[in-house]
């Protein structure tokens, strides 16, 4: 018994005759009769009675048809699932991301990415940039949101976006009347900064030292969300990447560009030779669009604040 024999059997049962089944399957009528005869011989069951040139299904044929129909439905589900897997619209996408992106960027991104992938599920792990790279390198994550440069064996990247650092100020602060904030002005303000182990904290200190500045650090913390909270309560001002700060506009804070450039380069990292290559590329494209939209929204809100 083979697939073709069962296909012919189903076609005869559905259409009611060998002639109609032959047309459905683009076969000759003798070929249909031959497949049916082979199936009856292999099953050792009389499936049809020939009456005046017509095929009349037996009780055994009716019982067999119910099971064959279920089998074909199962085959069709398998084919459909394979098609969805090829189009990357089902399964689980494992994402590793920094805590700071979980406030708005990541939810906005997954909402947009899921619009055409209703059955795709997600596993989201939050951590530091180093831990994210480790998860991607060990293939514990299909992709990760990281900062460039990335120098890890076995990892490829799609560039996401360049984001300048901005000054985060509490609403009503005198510096919100300025279009750009000079570093010398920040040196006169208490700062709320990410903890000493944050890589870009060292970048900030290096820039300040180059300008001969040594500002007062009022609060150290390990989350951009916490930085926003402390700034909004008047503990000081902060320097954050615009992409991260834009998530918090409208929460008692105002963003202003810095007069000096401190650039941050974000990327989507993924394992080299991974099976999710097409999906990762589409994810990166969507992430770039959402990041640009988030920054635009933040700038629009900033343009209406305090001027």
Contacts of 63 (CB under 8 A, 6+ apart): none
Q: pTM of the full predicted structure?
A: 0.67
CATH code of 162-263, in short, is: 3.40.190.290
The 3-state DSSP class for residue 293 equals helix
CATH code of 3-86, in short, is: 1.10.10.10
Helix spans in the chain (H): 3-15, 18-25, 29-43, 59-86, 105-113, 129-137, 183-186, 199-210, 224-232, 242-245, 277-303
State whether the Cα torsion 136-142-148-152 is positive or negative: positive
Q: Which one is predicted more confidently, 306 or 47? A: 47
Band (pLDDT 50/70/90 cuts) for residue 83 is low
Q: What angle do CA 108, 114, 120 make, to 5 degrees?
A: 135
212: left (phi over 0), alpha (psi -120 to 50) or beta: left
List beta partners, residue 258: 181
List beta partners, residue 239: 167
What's the pLDDT tens digit per position in 97-138? 998 899 899 999 999 999 988 888 999 999 989 999 999 999
CA dist list (Å): 240 to 247, 296, 301 = 11, 16, 17
Give percent above pLDDT 90 in the chain: 42
Q: Do domains 3-86 and 90-160+265-299 have the same CATH topology?
A: no
What average pLDDT does the segment 65-88 reach? 69
- Looking at the predicted structure, is the pLDDT value of residue 84 above 70? no
State whether the Cα torsion 96-97-103-108 is positive or negative: negative
Mean pLDDT (the chain, rounded): 86
DSSP 272: T
Contact 256, 180 (CB under 8 A): yes
d(CA 245, CA 297): 11
Q: Please give the full DSSP string across 219-264, using - where no structure is assigned.
A: EEES-HHHHHHHHHTTS-BEEEEHHHHGGGTTSSEEEEEBSS--EE
d(CA 96, CA 75): 35
Domain boundary assignment for the chain? 3-86, 90-160+265-299, 162-263
CATH code of 90-160+265-299, in short, is: 3.40.190.10
CA dist list (Å): 84 to 44, 87, 232 = 39, 5, 46
What average pLDDT does the segment 127-151 reach? 93
């Amino acid at each position: 018994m083979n697939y073709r024999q069962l296909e012919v059997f189903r076609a005869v049962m559905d259409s009611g005759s060998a002639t109609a089944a032959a047309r459905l399957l683009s076969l000759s009528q003798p070929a249909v009769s031959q497949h049916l005869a082979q199936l009856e011989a292999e099953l050792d069951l009389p499936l049809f009675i020939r009456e005046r040139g017509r095929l009349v299904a037996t009780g055994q044929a009716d019982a067999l048809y119910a099971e064959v129909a279920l089998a074909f439905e199962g085959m069709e589900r398998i084919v459909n699932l394979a098609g969805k897997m090829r189009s990357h619209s089902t399964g689980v996408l494992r994402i590793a991301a920094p805590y700071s992106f979980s406030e708005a960027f990541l939810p906005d991104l997954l909402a947009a990415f899921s619009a055409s992938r209703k059955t795709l599920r997600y596993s989201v792990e939050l951590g530091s940039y180093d831990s994210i790279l480790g998860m991607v390198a060990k293939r514990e994550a299909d992709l990760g949101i990281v900062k460039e440069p990335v120098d890890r064996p076995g990892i490829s990247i799609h560039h996401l976006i360049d984001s300048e650092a901005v000054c985060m100020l509490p609403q009503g602060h005198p510096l919100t009347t300025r279009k750009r904030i000079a570093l010398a002005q920040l040196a006169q303000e208490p700062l709320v900064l990410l903890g000493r182990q944050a890589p870009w904290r060292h970048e900030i200190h290096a820039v300040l030292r180059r300008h001969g500045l040594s500002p007062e650090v009022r609060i150290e913390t390990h989350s951009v969300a916490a930085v926003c909270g402390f700034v909004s309560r008047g503990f000081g001002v902060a320097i954050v990447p615009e992409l991260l700060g834009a998530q918090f506009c409208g929460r008692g804070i105002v963003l202003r560009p810095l007069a000096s450039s401190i650039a941050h380069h974000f990327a989507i990292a993924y394992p080299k030779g991974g099976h999710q290559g097409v999906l990762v590329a589409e994810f990166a494209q969507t992430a770039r669009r959402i990041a640009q939209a988030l920054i635009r929204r933040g700038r629009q809100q900033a343009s209406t604040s305090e001027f």
